[in-house]
Amino acid sequence: MFAPLNQPIQAWAGQRIWLIGASSGIGAALAQQALAAGATVILSARRQVQLEQVAQAHANALVLPFDVLDVAAWQSSYAELVARVGGIDLIVFCAADYRPERSWEVNPTIAAQTLQINLGSVYTGLATILPDLIARGSGGIGLIASVAGFMGLPNASVYGPSKAAMINLAEILYGDLHPKGLNVYLINPGFVKTHLTDKNDFTMPALQTPEQAATAIWHGISKGKFEIHFPWRFTQVLKLLQLLPYRCRFALQSYLVKTP
């Protein structure tokens, strides 16, 4: 009854991990820690130079740069990956875009691109890798969502809904894929210092480094957790707020979050 929802991973050596969005931030930190643990890590993002810097001096790294919005590039990159390392044991979708903006500031063209990066590209990636994982009956899928998907928060007019959809998608994937032998991980970080959160002009509570975030993610995956959320004290407060009636939640939110 209380067994992990996913199969725990005893050792990372020999695991083949494809990180989408590995050139900076959480993705780069995940790559560095997995490489140090002996995993074979395939690093993908648009910026080849940054990917090569992350992979530097690691013989177990494979750099495959491509744009996640390019459907054909997904197919060709995966074909090269299979030819080079035989397939994957885990894929983690880290690529994301974010603009702090109120609802009246949203540009529909930019919003569509953000949604395509944060959510649409995940569907392209799933369509690329799922047939092989299902046929094999093993493997794992990690979706990096966010606590911004827990509830409607100011300044997250596009980013928040994209991450709420990721949370919903992870739940659907678990129901669909767990009976087929696949692991699914829902990753909900709090505030992590990256080039995206550097855009915020407010104090971010419980701000963590990418390295702290990566450590929490790998620990959760190794334990077989479905939802991996951190830092725990901060995320637990938000989860409690989710349980409140809207009248109470909105009143408390307006008190806690000061916006113009």
> Helix crossing, 121-136 with 71-85: angle to 10°?
30
DSSP three-state, residue 56: coil
Domain 16-258 in CATH 3.40.50.720? The answer is yes
**83: phi then psi, degrees, rounded to nearest 5:** -65, -35
Q: DSSP 3-state assignment of 159? A: helix
In the chain, domain spans: 16-258
What DSSP string runs through 11-48?
Answer: --TT-EEEEES-SSHHHHHHHHHHHHTT-EEEEESS-H
Beta bridge partners of 43: 19, 63
Whether cis (ω within 30° of 0) applies to the bond prior to 231 is yes
The string of pLDDT tens digits covering residues 43-87 is 999 999 999 999 998 999 999 999 999 999 999 999 999 999 999
Convert the pLDDT of each residue in 169-201 to its tens digit. Answer: 999 999 999 999 999 999 999 999 999 999 988
- This prediction has a pTM of 0.95
